[in-house]
Chains A and B, each alone.
Chain A
Amino acid sequence: MFYRLSGTYHTSYRADRRLWKVPTDRWLVVALLVLGAFAPLYVSPLYLGSYVLPWVIWSAAALSLTLLMGLAGQLHFGFAAVMAIGAYASIHLTRAGIPFEISLLLSGLIAAVIGAVFGGAALRVKGLYLVMATLAMQYLVDWVVVNVPWISGGAHATLRTPAVSFLLLPLDSLAARYWLALGWAVLLTVFFMNVKRSSFGRALVAIRDKDFAAAVIGVDPFRTKLMAFFTSSFMGGVTGAILAFCFYRAVTPEQFGFNVSIQLVAMVLVGGLGSVIGSWLGAGFVLLAPIFLTNIISALAATGWVPVSQNFLSHLPLMIYGAMIIGFLLLEPLGLAKIYDNIRKYFLVWPFRHARS
């Protein structure tokens, strides 16, 4: 009904490999880009600042993590620590007088190097053991940040981000910060999609499926795994810096705690491992669903429809939220991305049940 495929043909393999080969998908992408770019014009500052902006940034974080977990199959339960490194590094670098643009890159590099060092464990261990190794990173980084005053300014201190501008655009208005975050998230999205169809992406998938089988077909597991940790940590580090500068504007160690890491893993799993659209949907779901549920239930409680105690009321949204995650993963273990894919395919073969040709 929405998808019209006739008249789509390719005169070179290069054209056949392009992203978005279906015209409808292209229109959808353009529409979403326009909607996203002009969001500051039609979304109220309250919603933009507290819903849309964090969604965009956490989508970027989920994309960074899903490169590692979804494509390369390396579990990482300490990704908030990687973002913390990026966030603290960028603040200290800009305070030291380095231009914001360069300090973004440098903070990404620092996060990448430290992330890759811990990722080195992945060369020896897999699965649950790798989870332990990355958890160690989480706690180690937490400990260092809290206990080295030179980094955090003390256990209970808050580190304010200095006023900066990005490519001559001062980051003091909400719209400017939103645009920077959106730009970064779009950049990561495009990068991710291109990685998936590049030789590097295929090497990552080979490692994920079986690392010694990948070695047999000529993929170097050592190099590829390190590259995966390095790339993913770089993306995570810059995202952490963006999170600090565009959203929090003042960072404390608790903002990058273990629970944040778990939340990131949840985003990736609920969205669908290794999927671009899944990262966006997963981040949106994990971030926004509890807020909406709380709003709806408190509205219902206010009208007296849900006669429950105040104490139970604060737990009810979380219970429903948990049930929803379980429900989604039962319904479709491959995540929200797969649900989207099913819907898309339903319309792709419309009005038939299977592809006809």
Chain B
Amino acid sequence: MQHDPIDTSVALHPDWRPGDTILARLAQNAAQYPGEIAMRERDRGIWQEYDWRAYLAAVTEFAAGLEAQGIGPGDVVMVIGDNRPNLYFAMLGIACLRAIPSPAYADAPTTELAAQMARENIRMAVAEDQEQVDKMLEARESWPALELVIYDDPRGLSGREPAGVMGFDAIRAAGAARLQAEPGLRDALITRASVHDIAVLMHSSGTTGAPKGIPLKHGHVLSGVRNAAAAGYFRQGEVHMAYLPMAWVGDYIFSIAAATELRFSVNIPEAQETALHDLREIAPSLYFASPRAWSAMLTRVQVGIAETKGVKRWLYDWFMPRAMAAERARLAGKPGAGGLTRWLGEWLIYGPIRDQLGLARVKRAYTAGEAIGEDVFLWFRALGLNLRQFYGQTENCALAVAQGPDDISLTTVGRPFPGVEMRIDDAGQILLRGDNIFDGYFQNPKASAEALVDGWLQTGDAGQIEPDGQLVVLGRVSEVVEKRDGTRFIPTYIENRLKFSPHIKDAAVIGQGRDMLVAIICIDFQAVGQWAQENGVAYTSYAELSQTPRVYDLIAGQIAAVNASLPHGLSVARFANLHKEFDPDDGEVTRTRKLKRNVIDDRYGPIIQALNDGADQIDFKARITYENGQTGSLDRVLRLADAGDS
């Protein structure tokens, strides 16, 4: 960029007020509601609370300390780890200095992190704990420019820090001393950033090639949040559970941007493993989960109910199908049957299940990212949750299109938020425009020019607008592929329908340039394991269970059911159960669990070929990656089977 980036931004967004930043909102909350709880973190079973005053103090002290370490405008600082208050404070502290926080996924391997550091010229990193610090130190070997690693959790590090590693508390203490010595510094830190400064640097998922940096400015995220609030999507003072990865745009929007703008209380679980338990303790009013997580929750309930007998089982089996039928009728436009059945069911089944799941107080429940299964969607709505779908990407702060509270449908994702314009171009691609749309990729003018045409974001998603103005998302424009006979299909579309089965966790449908569609299935270990117990199928491991003939029959039946709902010529003809789940560490899916098709085509090529050839089984040399990064191989015999006819 030849021009001063701020000037360019001012020209693009003439309506933005310069001082309108997340930091200003934070300072305002601290001034007006100093004692209100802004954040809670569960630590050894006890919720530690931070009010807005403490929040602001932590942010400014950390910023002052970080500045003393030589961070200034335009520097990129990596933030890596699970959700922790100090990492959130660090993200805002970095933004105070007009530097750019660049969050990374906690489970990203060192090589990916080192590549990100090199791309973004990162000199400092804030890491959660010893594990992350070790990764940073390892990355430093290939990227020596990494000067300083700041850790949050002192366990295993305090007092014996390696060179170039400092504690968050030490930085904060130094910053506090600076704030004490320089009276005007605190206000200067809060007001230094402008609405045109980058608030956070997100990353595309990198399904194809290296991830692209997506800088979001204060103005982008704030207008995104305000648009959503205007549509009633967020309310003031929500209770929110921050359990999603910090490197995902949604967490930034919910836990930082909306939280400061609308004074949420942000609750952080003790660990990823305890998130569902902690969810019940907090009972949030706003809950977002991916379709996969909703589906996992439903599976958990179904497994739990399958264990019950007698009255409990009978009541569930009596009330839940009725609620589902009523909800189905309601979505079809018929008045929902309420009355005594609903009231009784609410008391006996729906309310208690919502309570067990920790969703008892959820007023606004959302899902996005991919299509949600009809059964899952209906089940949660029947349970009395107003579950709604929305649509967005990192490029538009994840806030673009959402279903209203009252016009819900399974196929559409709703209407654009106020302030967001939407249209479909000639190729059937969804285009978006608005103040929440980013201004271009990070140091990548070529990609930016492709993504933004006349201010319209090229989402790359194929979609259509229904007569009533609701958007239907079909899939990625780039994913439309053809069979050898020219039939066009979107693999994701079929895969999502396969995944709606509780027994199928992941699926890859392959058929480009071939005569038939074949599927590689990863069974859901919990659900199929439960099924195996009930049906007396013996197994010792995932691999063994997946290859059992009766499990093959089970899966074949489920595929046949999906085939029945697909257009002719698009049914899945044959399939194989994989001996393992798709794993981001093996590179088969991204960290957000999107399939990497080229990897699958490459690695499982022999299986796909054998399926097409009509073989009954295949000796497959499976590649495995160990925890330490080494790879090995294992011989597996995989069964191949025909799916039921459509």
Q: Which of B42-50, B175-183, B567-575 contacts A (4 or more CB under 8 A)?
A: B42-50
- A135 → chain B, closest Cβ, in Å? 47
Residues A351 and B283 in contact, CB atoms below 8 Å apart:
no
Contact with B along A330-357 (1 / 0, CB 8 A): 0000000000000000000111111011
Residues A6 and B277 in contact, CB atoms below 8 Å apart:
no
The answer, yes or no, to whether B232 is at the interface (CB within 8 Å) is: no
The answer, yes or no, to whether B276 is at the interface (CB within 8 Å) is: yes
How far is A12 from B357 in the complex, measured between Cα atoms in Å? 24
- A18 → chain B, closest Cβ, in Å? 13
The answer, yes or no, to whether A160 is at the interface (CB within 8 Å) is: no
Most buried by B among A12, A13, A349, A350: A350
The answer, yes or no, to whether B304 is at the interface (CB within 8 Å) is: yes
- B347 → chain A, closest Cβ, in Å? 7
Residues B304 and A9 in contact, CB atoms below 8 Å apart:
no
How far is A56 from B359 in the complex, measured between Cα atoms in Å? 41
Which residues of chain B have C-beta atoms less than 8 A from A13's C-beta? Answer: 45-46
Residues A352 and B281 in contact, CB atoms below 8 Å apart:
no
Which residues of chain B have C-beta atoms less than 8 A from A350's C-beta? Answer: 312, 352
The answer, yes or no, to whether A216 is at the interface (CB within 8 Å) is: no
Task: Identify the closest chain B residue to A352 (Cβ).
Answer: B304
The answer, yes or no, to whether A123 is at the interface (CB within 8 Å) is: no
Q: A352-B304, A353-B304 are in contact. Are A7 and B283 (CB under 8 A)?
A: yes
Task: Identify the closest chain B residue to A357 (Cβ).
Answer: B277
- A351 → chain B, closest Cβ, in Å? 5
How far is A354 from B279 in the complex, measured between Cα atoms in Å? 18
- B475 → chain A, closest Cβ, in Å? 35
The answer, yes or no, to whether B358 is at the interface (CB within 8 Å) is: yes
Which residues of chain A have C-beta atoms less than 8 A from B40's C-beta? Answer: 9, 11
Q: Identify which of residues 9-40 in chain A touch chain B, using a CB-to-CB cut-off of 8 Å.
A: 9-13, 16
- A348 → chain B, closest Cβ, in Å? 10
Which residues of chain A have C-beta atoms less than 8 A from B45's C-beta? Answer: 10, 13, 16
Task: Identify the closest chain B residue to A13 (Cβ).
Answer: B46
Size band of the B side of the interface?
Answer: 35 or more
Selected contact of B355 from candidates A4, A12, A354, CB within 8 Å: A4
Q: Identify which of residues 12-53 in chain B touch chain A, using a CB-to-CB cut-off of 8 Å.
A: 40, 42, 45-49
Task: Identify the closest chain B residue to A7 (Cβ).
Answer: B283
Q: A1-B347, A6-B283, A7-B360 are in contact. Are A354 and B307 (CB under 8 A)?
A: yes
Task: Identify the closest chain A residue to B44 (Cβ).
Answer: A13
Which residues of chain A have C-beta atoms less than 8 A from B456's C-beta? Answer: none
The answer, yes or no, to whether A140 is at the interface (CB within 8 Å) is: no
Residues B348 and A352 in contact, CB atoms below 8 Å apart:
no
The answer, yes or no, to whether A5 is at the interface (CB within 8 Å) is: yes
Do most interface residues of chain A lie in helix, strand or loop, or is the interface mixed?
A: loop
Number of A residues, CB within 8 Å of B:
20
Q: A6-B360, A10-B47, A16-B45 are in contact. Are A356 and B283 (CB under 8 A)?
A: no
Which residues of chain A have C-beta atoms less than 8 A from B359's C-beta? Answer: 6
Q: A6-B358, A12-B46 are in contact. Are A351 and B282 (CB under 8 A)?
A: no
How far is A357 from B361 in the complex, measured between Cα atoms in Å? 17
The answer, yes or no, to whether B483 is at the interface (CB within 8 Å) is: no
Which residues of chain B have C-beta atoms less than 8 A from A11's C-beta? Answer: 40, 46-49
Task: Identify the closest chain B residue to A8 (Cβ).
Answer: B281
The answer, yes or no, to whether B349 is at the interface (CB within 8 Å) is: yes
Contact with B along A267-308 (1 / 0, CB 8 A): 000000000000000000000000000000000000000000
How far is A9 from B42 in the complex, measured between Cα atoms in Å? 10
Task: Identify the closest chain A residue to B353 (Cβ).
Answer: A351
Q: A10-B46, A351-B315, A356-B356 are in contact. List 5 more A-B contacts (CB 8 A).
A: A6-B359, A7-B282, A16-B46, A352-B307, A354-B307
CB-based closest 10 A-B pairs? A7-B283, A6-B283, A9-B281, A357-B277, A352-B304, A6-B360, A353-B308, A353-B307, A4-B355, A351-B312
